[in-house]
C-alpha cells in the first residue's frame, strides 16, 4: 500500500529533515508514528498525503510512483486518503455537519442519507449539540473531532492522523481510537502520529519511530534506540557525581567519611 525507498525530504534549501526513509506498509495495517517533537512526524505524513515532494528516493502508493505523479493527478490520489492535520483545515463558513459531509458531496453523494450518516458520526465523537456550529465558534478539541469525522466519513483507503487525541479528554480519546480501530478492521490502512505512549501501549500496534530524521520500525513493546540509558557509564563526570562504582577502586588516600551519606548530618 505504501512503499518508501531511501526517501529524503528537505524544506527549501535547508538540510534534510527526513533521511534514508525506507518502509513497506501492508494494506489494512495500523501503525503509530512516534518520535520527539521536531523528529519529522508531520513531515512524513505530508509526504504520504502528497502535500510535499521528496528530495530523493521513491514513494509508491496505491501501486503508483506517486513521488513522480503529475500535479493534475494529485487530487484524485488524495481522494483515497482521509487526513487529520494538527491545524484541522476546516471550512469556516460551513457548519460542522457540512464540513463532515463535504468528502461525500465531492464524490457525488447527496440527500438525507448523507445527513443521517454524518449526524450519527458526530454524535459518536460527542458533538451532537454542535452539529450546526461553524468552526470559529468551536473549541480546539471540538474542531479536532469535526476534522476526524470528516477524515473517516468516506471510509478512506488510507487514514493519516496527526496527534488526533491531542486536544480531547480521555473518554473522547478512547472513542476516537475505537473509531480508528473499527475503520482499520474494515480495511483502512492507518497511520497515527502521537506522543501518547499510553495509547500506543494499549492498542499494541507496530510503530514507525523517527529519531534524528531516521526511521526505526518497532514491534509492540520494543524500545527505540535512543531510550537505552547510558547515564551510569564510568565516565569522569559520573565518578565525580556518584563516587566510584567499585569501593575497592577507591583511592587509598581518599577519606571514606567524605562519601558516606548521613554521618555527621
Ligand X SMILES: Nc1ncnc2c1ncn2[C@@H]1O[C@H](COP(=O)(O)OP(=O)(O)OP(=O)(O)O)[C@@H](O)[C@H]1O
Binding site for ligand X (CB under 6 A): 11, 14, 17, 35, 37-43
Between 42 and 95, CB nearer to ligand X: 42
Residue partners of 88: CB distance under 8 A and separation at least 6:
135, 143, 144, 146, 147
Nearest to 49 by CA among 185, 168, 156: 156
Residue partners of 256: CB distance under 8 A and separation at least 6:
250
| Closest separation in Å from C-beta 87 to ligand X | 11
Between 39 and 90, CB nearer to ligand X: 39
Residue 253 and residue 261: Cα distance in Å, rounded? 19
| Closest separation in Å from C-beta 10 to ligand X | 8
Between 17 and 25, CB nearer to ligand X: 17
| Closest separation in Å from C-beta 210 to ligand X | 6
Strand ranges (E), 45-122? 56-61, 64-65, 81-84
Between 17 and 84, CB nearer to ligand X: 17
| Closest separation in Å from C-beta 14 to ligand X | 6
Contact 46, 53 (CB under 8 A): no
Amino acid at each position: 500500500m505504501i512503499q518508501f525507498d531511501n526517501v529524503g525530504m528537505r524544506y527549501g534549501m535547508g538540510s534534510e529533515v527526513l533521511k534514508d526513509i525506507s518502509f513497506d506498509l501492508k494494506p489494512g495495517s495500523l501503525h503509530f508514528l512516534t518520535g520527539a517533537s521536531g523528529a519529522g512526524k508531520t513531515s512524513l505524513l505530508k509526504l504520504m498525503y502528497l502535500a510535499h515532494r521528496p528530495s530523493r528516493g521513491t514513494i509508491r502508493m496505491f501501486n503508483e510512483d506517486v513521488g513522480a505523479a503529475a500535479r493534475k493527478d494529485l487530487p484524485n490520489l488524495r481522494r483515497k486518503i482521509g487526513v487529520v492535520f494538527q491545524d484541522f483545515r476546516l471550512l469556516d463558513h460551513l457548519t460542522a455537519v457540512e464540513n463532515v459531509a463535504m468528502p461525500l458531496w465531492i464524490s457525488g453523494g447527496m440527500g438525507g442519507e448523507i445527513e443521517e450518516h454524518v449526524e450519527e458520526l458526530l454524535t459518536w465523537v460527542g458533538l451532537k449539540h454542535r452539529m450546526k456550529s461553524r468552526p470559529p465558534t468551536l473549541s480546539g478539541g471540538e474542531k479536532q473531532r469535526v476534522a476526524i469525522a470528516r477524515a473517516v466519513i468516506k471510509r478512506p483507503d488510507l487514514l493519516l492522523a496527526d496527534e488526533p487525541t491531542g486536544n480531547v479528554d480521555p473518554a473522547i480519546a478512547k472513542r476516537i481510537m475505537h473509531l480508528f480501530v473499527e475503520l482499520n478492521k474494515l480495511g483502512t490502512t492507518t497511520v497515527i502520529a502521537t506522543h501518547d505512549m499510553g495509547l500506543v501501549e494499549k492498542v499494541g500496534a507496530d510503530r514507525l519511530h523517527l529519531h534524528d530524521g531516521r526511521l526505526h520500525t518497532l514491534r509492540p513493546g520494543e524500545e527505540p534506540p535512543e531510550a537505552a540509558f547510558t547515564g551510569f557509564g564510568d565516565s569522569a563526570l559520573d565518578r565525580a557525581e556518584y563516587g566510584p562504582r567499585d569501593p575497592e577502586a577507591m583511592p587509598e588516600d581518599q577519606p571514606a567519611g567524605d562519601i558516606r551519606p548521613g554521618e555527621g548530618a
